Amino acid sequence: MATEATGIDHPLLVDDFLQSRRYQLQLADAAIDDHTLVCLPTGLGKTTVSLLVTARRLHEAGGTALFLAPTKPLVQQHAEFYREAMTVPDDEIVVFTGDVKPEDRAALFADARVVIATPQVIENDLVGNRVSLRDVTHLTFDECHRATGDYAYVYIAERYHADAADPLVTGMSASPGGDIEEIETVCENLGLTNVEVMTEEDADVDEYTHDTDVRWERITLPEEVLEIRDALNEVIKDRLEKLKSLGVTNKTSPDLSQRDLNEMRGKLKRMMDNDQSDGYKGMSTHAEVMKLRRAVELVETQSVESVRRYFERQREAARSSGASKASQRMVADPKVREAMRKAESFDGLHPKFSQARILLAETLGINEGERAILFTESRDTAEALVEFLEASFDVRKFVGQGDKEGSDGMSQKQQQETLEEFKAGEFEVLVSTSVAEEGLDVPEVDLVCFYEPVPTAIRSIQRKGRTGRQAEGKVVVLMAEDTRDEAFFWISRRREKEMASQLADLKAATDDIEGAVGDDGQAGLDAFADNGGDSAAGDAETTTAVDTAATVDADDGDDDPGLTDFAAEAREGGDDEGDEETAATGDGDAEDDENAVVATAGVDDGVEVVIDQRELDSSIAKDLSTRDGLLTRLETLAVGDYVLSDRVAVERKSAADFVDSMLDSDRSMFEQVGELSRAYARPVLVVEGTNLYGQRDIDPNAIRGALASLAVDFGISVLRTEGETDTTELLATIARREQETRDREVSVHGEKTTKTRAEQQEYVVSAIADIGPVTARALLEYFGSVEDVMTAPEDDLLEVEGVGPVTAERIREVVGSAYE
C-alpha cells in the first residue's frame, strides 16, 4: 500500500477514495500479520483499518471476507462504505441480516467476496450448517468488546478458528473493556494474540483530533419531585426490612448498591433451590424493590412524565391475567398510590428540560453552531424532550425499532433517513436513546448533551466521541443533585480514568503478548505487547455499547442497555425503555409456524440432529454444532424441539416451564406431547433443572400425577437432566445410539411403529377433540367399535365415564359438522 499523503493505491480500492493516514496504515500492517485487537478512539477510522486488511487479504489469499457488526443500521452503513471504497462489484459485497431468507443466504455466501452481517444471523447459519467458514480469509468483529458471555461473537470465533483453512481475525473497538481482565477476556474469546493501541496522545493521531470541553451541570430538584421520590423510598425501606427478616441482607437504606441487590437475589435463589418457601416470597419482594427503585430513578433523573407512564404500565400489568404478585402489591400500596397521585397532579417540568433548552440555545444560537445531540436513557424522556424542544428548534428523535405501548419504534429505513437528514443539515437537534452510541456514522456535532450520566466507561467514551472529531467540541452532562445521577457520575469518571490508564499500560506493554497464547490457540493476556502502530484513512466509524446488566424481574427490560456488565452498580432494567437493543441486536430469523415441518434426522456420513430454531436461545444448539461427527440442521419444527432419528423426537422443558405448561390453558403440555406421540414412535420429554417440586405453589403430588400420565397414558419417556450441558450430552448420546448403533434409516415424515388394531382404534378416537387415550378406551369399551362411537347421540355419550357435556358436545360437533 502506498503511503502518499493524498490517497491510498491498491488494486481492490477505489483510487484516492481513502485519505492516507500514517497511523491507520501502521495499524493495518500489524493486523495483516496476526489476529489483532485494534483500539482506536471514536471517529478516527477503525473501519478503514479493517478495510485495508480485507483488501490485502482478498488480493493475496483470495477467499471471502466476513465483517460482523452488532446492529442492522451498522451493517447497512458498513456495506455502503465498502461498496464505495472497493473495486469489487456491488453484488459481491452482500448484506446478511434477519431480513434475508435463510434459504437464500447459502448461495449468496458462496458467491460473495465480502459478507457484512449481524452476528446472530451468522450464528444461526453455522448452527444450521447453511454456511461454511472454511474459505473465509479475514473476519472482522466490529465493537468487539461485546465478545463476552454467550454473545454470538464468542461462538463464531470458536467456529472460525476451528473451521477456517487460513484464518485471520481483526477485532475493533474504541473501548475494549473496563479493566485489564475484561480486555483479556475479549482477546481470549476471539483468539486475538496481538493488541494495537492508538490514543489521542500519539503524534500521528493528534493532528486528526481536537479538544473536547467536558463540564457537569448540577440540577436542583423541586420540592414536589422530592416528595414523590421520598414516598417511594419509604416503601422500598419497608420491603428491605422484610428481606432483612429473611436473613438475606442487613441493609435497609433505599440507596443501597446494585451489588447488594444482586447478592440478595443470589441468597434467595439458593433458598429456592433448597425448597425453602421463604425464598419464593423473598424473590417476589425483591422484584418489587427493583420496580420501586426504577420508579425512583425515573422521577429523580428523567421526568415526572416518565414515572407517570411507568406507573400506568404497572397498573395495566397488575390488572392483566397472570400478573405478578410484585406488581399487584406495589400498585396497591397506599404510599405508592400517594406517589402516583402526586405524579398525576404535577404539572411542571423536570428542571433538566429547561437547562437542555438553554444549552441548545447557547450552542446553536449565540455560538452559531450547526448540530447537537441530546442523549437520554429513556424513550419516554426522549419523546417528551422532542415535544418540549420543537417549539424552539428543528428537532427529531432517534430510537430503537421495538414498539412499546404508547410508543412506536423506528424502522431501519426511518433510522437511516433520519441520520441522512441530520448529516445533510435538514434539522439541528437529534434526541437519541442509546442507538446512536453504537458506532453509527453520526456526523460531527457542536454539542453532546447527556441528559443523565451513564455509569459505564465505554458508553460515556462513545457518546463523547460524537464531538471533537474535526473541531473543538463540547460535552455537557446534566446531573440532578443528591440522586443516583451523582453516583453514576462518580462511577463513570473513575472508570474512564481507569480505562485511559489501562489503555496506556496496554500500549506500553504489547511486546510480550505473542508469547501469551493459551493452550487452545486463543490469547491469554498475561502480559500486553505494544506493536504501537499508526495507520490509514478514517471514514465510516463504528462504536457500540452493550449493557448486559442482569434483569432481575421478568417483566422488566427497558433501559437502553450499555456495555458488558461493567458494574454491579450499573442501572437495573425497569419496565419501560428497553427497546433500543432491538435496533442493535435481536436479528435472528423470523419464525414461520405456517411452514413448520415434521422432520427426521439422519445423514449418510455422520450423525444429524434437527433443531427447532426457537431453541437457539439456549447453549445446546451451539454446543451440539461443535461436536465432531455430529451435524446440526435448523428447522421450524411443527412438533418437538430436537429430532434425533426417524422415530425419536424430544420436547425440552425446564423444571419451571414444565410446571407452567401444566397450567397453560392455551397450549397445555399434554396437548404438546400428544402431538409429539402422534408424529414419532419414540417421543421423549426432557425435564431440565433441579427443584422440580419446588416450582410455584403446586402440590408435588400433582406434578407426580402429571409425570405418571405422560408415561402411562401417553407413552412418553420422561428423562431428567441437571442443566443444559447434561441435556446436550443426553441428546448427543441418543442421536448416536439411534443413527450409528441402531442404523436407523431416514424417512420423510417420521416413522411410527406398527400398532395393533385396538391401538389404532384408540388412536382414532383419542384424536377427536383431543379427548385423550383414557377416555378413548372408555368410549370403545362402552360402544364396542369406532363406528358406534362416531354415530352415538350426545345423550348416549354422556353415559360413558369421563365424558361430560363439553366433551360430548365437542365429539358431536367434530363428527357431525361439514368439512370446510
Model pLDDT for residues 595-638, shown as the tens digit of each residue: 555 555 655 667 899 999 888 888 899 999 988 889 998 888 88
State the Rg of the chain over Cα. Answer: 30
pLDDT, residue 760, reads 80
| Same domain for 100 and 71 | yes
Any idea which of 8-17, 89-98, 195-204, 753-762 has the lowest mean pLDDT? 753-762
Mean pLDDT of 336-361: 89
In this structure, is residue 77 part of a structural domain?
yes
CB contact at 8 A, 386 and 409: no
Where a domain ends, among 498, 527, 546? Answer: 498
| Same domain for 258 and 359 | no
| Same domain for 797 and 708 | no
Where a domain ends, among 289, 314, 345? Answer: 345
pLDDT, residue 728, reads 95
Q: Whose grid coordinates read 416470597?
A: 281
SS (H, E, C) 106-159: HHHHHHCCEEEECHHHHHHHHHCCCCCCCCEEEEEEECHHHCCCCCHHHHHHHH
CB contact at 8 A, 394 and 431: no
CB contact at 8 A, 272 and 283: yes
In this structure, is residue 535 part of a structural domain?
no
| Same domain for 240 and 182 | no
The three cell numbers locating residue 230: 421520598
| Same domain for 761 and 736 | no
How far, in Å, CA of 205 to CA of 209, rounded? 7
pLDDT, residue 386, reads 92
| Same domain for 228 and 203 | no
Any idea which of 569-573, 576-580, 755-759 has the lowest mean pLDDT? 569-573
Any idea which of 20-34, 501-515, 655-669, 800-814 has the lowest mean pLDDT? 501-515
Which residues touch 609 (CB under 8 Å, ≥6 apart)? 601, 624, 630, 631, 632, 633, 642, 643, 644, 731, 732, 735
| Same domain for 90 and 164 | yes
| Same domain for 172 and 78 | yes
In this structure, is residue 533 part of a structural domain?
no
* Residue 518's pLDDT band (cuts 50, 70, 90): very low
Mean pLDDT of the chain: 78
Quick: pLDDT tens for 703-755.
888 899 888 888 899 999 999 999 999 999 999 998 887 766 444 344 454 56
* Residue 394's pLDDT band (cuts 50, 70, 90): very high
Number of domains in the chain: 5
SS (H, E, C) 619-641: CHHHHHHCCCCEEEEEECECCCC
For residue 785, what is the DSSP state? Answer: S
In this structure, is residue 705 part of a structural domain?
yes
* Residue 769's pLDDT band (cuts 50, 70, 90): low
| Same domain for 203 and 227 | no
SS (H, E, C) 395-459: EEEECCCCCECCECCCCHHHHHHHHHHHHCCCCCEEEECHHHHCCCCCCCECEEEECCCCCCHHH
pLDDT, residue 526, reads 34
Quick: pLDDT tens for 480-506.
888 878 777 777 667 666 666 666 665
CATH of the domain at 717: 3.40.50.10130
pLDDT, residue 68, reads 96
Residue 383 pLDDT > 50: yes
How far, in Å, CA of 579 to CA of 407, rounded? 10
Where a domain ends, among 322, 345, 368? Answer: 345
Mean pLDDT of 118-132: 92
In this structure, is residue 750 part of a structural domain?
no
Spell out a b/e string for 29-43, using b for 16 or more CB atoms within 10 Å of the CB, else e: bbbbebbbbbbbbbb
Phi, psi of 195 (to 5 degrees): -125, 125
The three cell numbers locating residue 59: 488480493
The three cell numbers locating residue 477: 452532562
In this structure, is residue 491 part of a structural domain?
yes
- The continuous run of DSSP H or E covering 96 comes out as strand 93-96
CATH of the domain at 373: 3.40.50.300
Quick: pLDDT tens for 163-194.
999 999 999 987 766 567 778 888 999 999 98
Mean pLDDT of 216-221: 87
Residue 196 pLDDT > 50: yes
Residue 470 pLDDT > 50: no
In this structure, is residue 554 part of a structural domain?
no
Which CA distances in Å does 255 have to 234, 298, 456? Answer: 11, 14, 19
Any idea which of 173-187, 199-213, 308-322, 654-668 has the lowest mean pLDDT? 199-213
Bigger pLDDT: 602 vs 815: 815
The three cell numbers locating residue 504: 496506556
Residue 115 pLDDT > 80: yes
Residue 473 pLDDT > 80: no
How far, in Å, CA of 153 to CA of 150, rounded? 8
* Residue 139's pLDDT band (cuts 50, 70, 90): very high
| Same domain for 159 and 59 | yes
Instruction: Identify which of 413, 363, 372 has the alpha carbon closest to the alpha carbon of residue 396.
Output: 372
Bigger pLDDT: 99 vs 450: 450
Angle at 250 between CA 244 and CA 251, to 5 degrees: 95
Q: Whose grid coordinates read 414523590?
A: 228
pLDDT, residue 818, reads 85
* Residue 471's pLDDT band (cuts 50, 70, 90): very low
Residue 539 pLDDT > 70: no
Helix axes 46-60, 72-85, angle to 10 degrees: 60
Helix (H, G, I), strand (E, B) or coil at 751: coil
| Same domain for 463 and 356 | yes
Quick: pLDDT tens for 29-58.
999 999 999 988 766 788 899 999 999 999
Domain that holds residue 618: 593-741
Instruction: Identify which of 705, 650, 644, 691 has the alpha carbon closest to the alpha carbon of residue 673.
Output: 650
Residue 551 pLDDT > 60: no
Mean pLDDT of 9-22: 87
In this structure, is residue 457 part of a structural domain?
yes
| Same domain for 790 and 663 | no
